[in-house]
Every structure is written in C-alpha cells, then in structure tokens.
C-alpha cells in the first residue's frame, strides 16, 4: 500500500551515447523519465559541520517492479532535489503485490 500511496518521484532512465571521441558512455536520459510513487527510507547521513566537509545523505527508495532501464547511471528527482543511484537496484521477488525494486540514492551536492 505504501508504494501506491507513497511520494512522487521522477526516475531518469539510462541511455548509451557516443561522445566526441567515439566512446560509448552511459548517461541519464532527460527525455521521458519514469514518474513513480515510492517509499523512502533514510539509511545514513552525515551533516557537514565545517565549511569544506562533505555532506552525505543516503536514502533507500522502494518502487514497483515494472520500471526498466534503471541502473547506476540513472538519476532520481525527489523532494525538489536531484539524487544519484549509489548501488545497483535490487529486485525483490515474490507475488505481484510484494515484488519491488529497492534503490539506494544519494543526494547530489
């Protein structure tokens, strides 16, 4: 129920592009993101106490299992901020009602 009534987010799919040197690179595609409802569970965070320190904010995102082309090079837009995918998405098997992806995301600086 929480994944259906959860918070709205946009997940930008991964596409393969060719750079100016002819290399194939994976990037987040700005065209046609997945609009999903998801549950967000805070994992760990560290606030920057002194200027120059890095702030770390990692959250686990649970979404339905019907999304495609989401991996480490994808991006997530949630709560007015952009987030990077930190770990490969993990598919949790089960019946249609409980099957879902769990994706760890980190807030971009």
CATH of the domain at 85: 2.40.10.370
User: Is there a contact between 14 and 32 (Cβ–Cβ < 8 Å)?
Assistant: no
Domain residue limits at 72: 2-107
User: Is there a contact between 85 and 74 (Cβ–Cβ < 8 Å)?
Assistant: yes
Q: Specify the number of domains making up the chain.
A: 1
User: What's the pTM value of the predicted model, to 2 decimals?
Assistant: 0.79
pLDDT digits (tens, 9 = 90+) for 14-54: 989 898 999 999 888 888 888 999 999 988 776 666 666 66
User: SS3 for 21?
Assistant: coil
Of all residues in the chain, what percent carry a pLDDT higher than 70? 88
pLDDT digits (tens, 9 = 90+) for 46-99: 666 666 666 778 899 999 888 888 889 999 999 999 999 998 998 888 888 888
């Amino acid at each position: 129920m929480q994944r259906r009534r959860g918070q709205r987010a946009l997940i930008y799919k991964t596409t393969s592009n060719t750079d100016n040197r002819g290399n194939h690179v994976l990037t987040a595609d700005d065209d046609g993101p997945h609009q999903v409802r998801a549950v967000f569970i805070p994992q760990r965070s560290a606030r920057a106490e002194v200027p120059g320190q890095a702030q770390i904010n990692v959250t686990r995102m649970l979404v339905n299992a019907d999304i495609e082309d989401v991996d480490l090079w994808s991006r997530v837009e949630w709560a007015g901020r952009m987030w990077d995918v930190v770990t490969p998405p993990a598919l949790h098997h089960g019946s249609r009602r409980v099957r879902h992806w769990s994706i760890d995301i980190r807030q971009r600086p």
